[in-house]
Each structure stands twice: as C-alpha cells, then as structure tokens.
Structure 1
Amino acid sequence: MVSFNKELIDYLIIGICAIIVTFTLAYYGLKKIGKDPSNILPVNFANRIWIPLLIFLISLFCQIALIIRLFRFEYTYTVIGHLSTIGIILSTAWFLIIILKVFKARILKKYDVSTSDNLKARKVYTQFMILENIIIFLIIILSVGIALMSFDSIRSIGVSLLTSAGIAGIIIGLAAQKAIATLLAGIQIAITQPIRIEDVVIVEGEWGWIEEITLTYVVVRVWDKRRLVVPSTYFIENTFQNWTRNTAEILGTVFIYTDYEVPFDRLREELTMLLEKSPLWDGKTNVLQVTNATDRSVEIRALMSAKDSPTSWDLRVYVREHLLVFIKENYPESLPKSRVSLKTD
C-alpha cells in the first residue's frame, strides 16, 4: 500500500512538473513565433491555444497513468479514463478549429473587400466563411459522436435506439425536413454563390448589403442600418435582385418632367457638364433621352454610370437637383404647366 502510494505521488510530482515545463515551453515558443510577421501563425495564436493545450497535456498525463496502472480502484480507472478520453477529443477538436481559423485568416489577408474592384475578394470571403461554418459543424458533430462512443452504456443505448426507432426516425426526419433544407441551402449558397459578402441586394422590397452568411440564415444590412435576417432557403427558392452579381458598376437613372418648350440640347450640355464636374461619375455612360410624352408634359430620362450602387445613388441625387435648378433659373417657362384654351364668340 505504501509502495503504491509512493509511486502514485512520485508520478504526480513528475507529471505535474512535466506538464508545467512542456506547457511553458510550448506557450512561449508559439508566442515568440507569432511575433515574427513572416510566420504563418498570428500574434495571438498562443493566447488562443493555451486552454486546449493545457487540457490535452493533462488528459495525456492521465492516460499514461492508466496505462501503467497507478490507480487502486477500478471505479477510478473508469472515471479518469472517460474524462481523459473526452479531454483529448475536446482539445483535438479545439486545435482543429483554431488551425482552421488561422488558415482562413491567412488566406483572406490577401484579399481586401474595401477596394472598389472587390468582386474576387467578396467571392473568396463568402466561400471561406460558409465552408468554415460547415467544417466546424462537422468537427463538433464528429467529436461529440466519438466522445459518446467511448461510453459503453451510451453506445448500447444508441444501438438499441437505432434498431427499434423506425417509425420514430421517420417522424423525426419529417419534422427536421425544413431544418435540413435550410442547412443544405447554406451549403448550396457556398458552392453556387448567388450572393456574396457585401453584395448589394433588394430583398422583400428592402435595399441593402449582404453582411453575414451562415449555414441557416443570411443577414442583410439595410441602408438605414436596420438588419434583415433571412433564411438561407429564401435565396434559393425566391427571386431577388443582386446589383453586384458580376460587377459593382451600375447605371443610375433620373426622371424629370418638363413642358414641351424645354430645349433638349441645352439639357444634354448641362448634364455633361454636371457629370464631368462630379467625382462620383465613372466617365462611361452619359445619356439624356425623351422617354415619354403626355398631354401635359414630357418625360426626360438622364442615364449615368457609377462604380457602385451607393455612389450611383449620390450621383442621381446630385444630377436631379442641379438639373431642376438649371431649368428653374434658365427656362422657367419650361416647367410643367396646364394649358387652358378659352374661345370667345
């Protein structure tokens, strides 16, 4: 008995010292590596990994103690064996998730979505964000499944449930059909990419940007800073407008209603001058056309281009305001008016 206790105490002392030394060397080694910008590891990698690293070392220490049979009671073997197994599985899954996030951050560092020509960057961001969620989901499911399989009682219960739950399985499958469809829609969005991060879309009559894409829902940032949370299936099953599907460039239109006497050539000259003075115009499209005529007025459409939809909106507001001021100051008689003809006998 005394010999056994002495062996256990000696192992505990040596094991704790070994854990402290190994953890300290690994932690500060990773911290030093992270400070070098040329390395793949980020600066805060050591701070992110110290908890799973400590869990892994302690669990490994317990597993070695089980192998060399240092514990006296069988119950102790069972409890410590399960806990250490779960600790190794948990820490390994944690390691994989952290490494996945580091790899994603390293890849995405090469792409900047804040630039004007950011189509490729938004595409890569969308793919990695959704695929990251899928992989993390699979890692968690597999780790939980492997951990549960380490318990003999739970494993036998699971087998009996699988063999006797035919009808229940059908009911559960039908009940989860919508959830599964939503999950598959998220995966489909990652592959086909009908939407990407920072795409400009019109959803349910609301104009905004795609802010976040998950496996089950999409967050749309509306222009007035509200947020629309839309199920992933919406973008697979419904029609919606995507203004930046292939390029961020967009045409803007301004409609003005005037009298028949307005000089169209002078309006075209004024439109050209306004666009050339504005930094919002991308220099590509500049058109003014008469698109309709009624018994009271004519409809004039000014067509202009901009690098993206927010810029297009500001450009349209600018052109509309200045064209109206130009007509009011130079051709006030060309503003819309009603004509009444009186006949005298």
Structure 2
Amino acid sequence: MFDLSSITIDSRLVANIATTFSLLVAVIVVKKIFNLAWSRWEKRVISRASRKKTVATESLKTKIAILHRIITAGIYFFALIFFLLQFEAVRNIGTGLLASAGVAGIVIGMAAQNTISNLIAGVSISFSQPVRLNDAVIFDNEFGWIEEISLMHTIIRTWDNRRIIVPNDILSSKVIQNWTMRDSSLLGIVMVYVDYKIDIEKIKRWVKEIVDGSSHSSREKVSVVQVVDFTEKTMVLRILAKGDDAPSTWNLRCEIREKLAEHFRKEEGIFPLIRIWDAKDEHPHPNN
C-alpha cells in the first residue's frame, strides 16, 4: 500500500498558498466594497451637481471616472506587491533592486516612455479638462462625442457610430475643437445664392417662420439673413439660426434648406438668370 507517512509537506509552501489565497479573497472583498461605496457616492454627488447646470455635471463625471480608475489601479498594484513579497526569492533580491534602482529607473523609463506619457496625459486631461465625457468635439476633421476617458486613451464616438481611439499624449498635444466647452448651443450657417431681383424681406419672413416653427431651434429662436457678397451673377445670402446642441443645429440647417426649397419652387425669379442685352435695347450693355 501507499505510505502517506513518507510524504513531506513544506510548511512554507502551505503558508504561502494560504497567504496568497487570503490576499486574493481580501482584494476581491475590498474591490466589491469599494465599488459599492463609490457607486452610491457618485450617484449622490452627480445628482446634487445636476440640479445646477449640465457643464458642471459633465466636468464632475470626468473627474470621478478618472479618479475611480486611479484608485482601482492602486488597489491592484499594492495587491501585486504584497503577493510578490510572499516569496523569499523576491524579498532576497529587494536589496539589490534598491541598489540598482537608479539604473533600472532609467532603463524602464526609456522602455515605457509612451506608456508613462499616456498616463501623465490622462491624469492631466482629467483635471485640466480640455474635453469631458459627452463633449461634442472635432478631432482630425472627425466629429463625435467623448465616450470614454481612461488613463491611457480617449474614445471618441463619431456621428456614424464609429469609435476613434486616441492615445492621451496625442490628444493633449493636438488642437481639438470642443463645441460644448462652455455652452452646447451653436449657430448654424446656411448659404443661399439668389438673383439680384429677389425680395430679401420675403426671404427673411420665410426664414423666421421656419425657425419659429422648428423643434430643432433654440429657445431664443434666432434667425438672421445677411447679404454677405455680390458675384457676377448672384447675391450671396447667409442665414444664421441657433440650435441647443450640435445635432439640433445640423437638423435645423437641413430643415431650413428643405423648406426654403419648397418656397423657391412656388416663386419665380429666385434663382439667378443669365441676362443678354441687345445693342438696340434701351439700356445697352456697357460692353456694347
């Protein structure tokens, strides 16, 4: 028969296994408690801030999200340190590591330059806040919304539901348009090329009716029609209208074009005509 008494058990190994298991359980419990407490605190703080204004709420959400990731990373980091210290070999080389910390730091710093740069940029973005969660932005000629800001990268959700993942060090060093930095409302521009005979006051009335009746326009119901240029054949009109946010402004511009097109189909003389003067005309062309 197999003699169990011949089996020797290393007490240190058993102790290390027990300690490692206890540490794993402790990390899981601490993380669960932390997430629960954090979730309740976050809801309370954001609810309080949302009663004031949206910009402050989005700013707070961004800071809370980054702070949560930093604390979570800290929990895992210290758990890993405690885990490694259970092994005697790791403890024995600790002195040597401290002695060579300067050289090792330089080597690691050079190898992980991009990673460290992204981490620093991520923390910087979370507190300086050139962008925040749900901000409408234009980055590299792409329009979208800030969907996520992590310690390493930022995710931009485009209008057609694509995701642009930008490393934080690139985001912090490039120019980015933020359309909701202080106020989410935007002025939309519609350019119209019309004949010189057009009644501009009539165009103004049409635009005002469209803006006043639109669900996409802002509460101020801004509608402005300006003659901004003369060309050889046309007058150039610029129509300004305001929406509460980028999507509303885009839809408002489209609505103005569509409804003006309906008016133009019913009217004559809106669009420029090619004029030819005969030499016998009462008002001859200057070139004749």
Equivalent position amino acid for 2:31 in 1: I
* Corresponding residue of 2:28: 94
Aligned runs of 1:260-299 on 2, under 5 Å?
260-284=196-220, 285-299=222-236
Do 1:198 and 1:210's aligned partners in 2 also have CA atoms closer than 8 Å? yes
Aligned runs of 1:1-345 on 2, under 5 Å?
75=10, 77-110=11-44, 111=46, 118-164=54-100, 166-284=102-220, 285-330=222-267, 332-343=268-279
Looking at both structures, which has the greater relative contact order when contacts are Cα pairs under 8 Å and sequence separation is at least 6? 2
Shift of 1:162: 4.0
Aligned partners of 1:172 and 1:343: how far apart in 2? 86
Shift of 1:167: 4.2
Do 2:195 and 2:271's aligned partners in 1 also have CA atoms closer than 8 Å? yes
Equivalent position amino acid for 2:171 in 1: F
- 1:124-151 Cα distance to aligned partner (Å, 9 max, x none): 2211111111111111111101221222
- 1:40-76 Cα distance to aligned partner (Å, 9 max, x none): xxxxxxxxxxxxxxxxxxxxxxxxxxxxxxxx9671x
Q: Name stretches of at least 5 consecutive residues in structure 1 with no aligned partner.
A: 1-71
Look up the SS of the partner of 1:109 in the other structure: helix
Look up the SS of the partner of 1:201 in the other structure: strand
Equivalent position amino acid for 1:335 in 2: F
Q: Alignment RMSD, CA only?
A: 2.5
Look up the SS of the partner of 1:282 in the other structure: coil
Do 1:213 and 1:219's aligned partners in 2 also have CA atoms closer than 8 Å? yes
Do 1:202 and 1:242's aligned partners in 2 also have CA atoms closer than 8 Å? yes
Shift of 1:170: 2.0
With over 3 angstroms needed to count, the CA separation of the structure-2 counterparts of 1:267 and 1:240, relative to structure 1, is: same
With over 3 angstroms needed to count, the CA separation of the structure-2 counterparts of 1:108 and 1:327, relative to structure 1, is: farther
Look up the SS of the partner of 2:147 in the other structure: strand
Shift of 1:246: 1.3
Aligned partners of 2:31 and 2:278: how far apart in 1? 84
Shift of 1:89: 2.6
TM-score, with normalisation over the residues of structure 1? 0.72
Shift of 1:337: 3.3
- Tell me the matched-pair count: 272
- 1:144-179 Cα distance to aligned partner (Å, 9 max, x none): 012212222112224324434654542321121111
Q: Percent identity?
A: 31
* Corresponding residue of 1:63: none
TM-score, with normalisation over the residues of structure 2? 0.86
Aligned partners of 2:276 and 2:35: how far apart in 1? 74
Q: Which has the higher helix share?
A: 1
Look up the SS of the partner of 2:180 in the other structure: coil
Do 2:50 and 2:57's aligned partners in 1 also have CA atoms closer than 8 Å? no
Shift of 1:250: 1.5
Shift of 1:219: 0.8
Equivalent position amino acid for 2:112 in 1: A
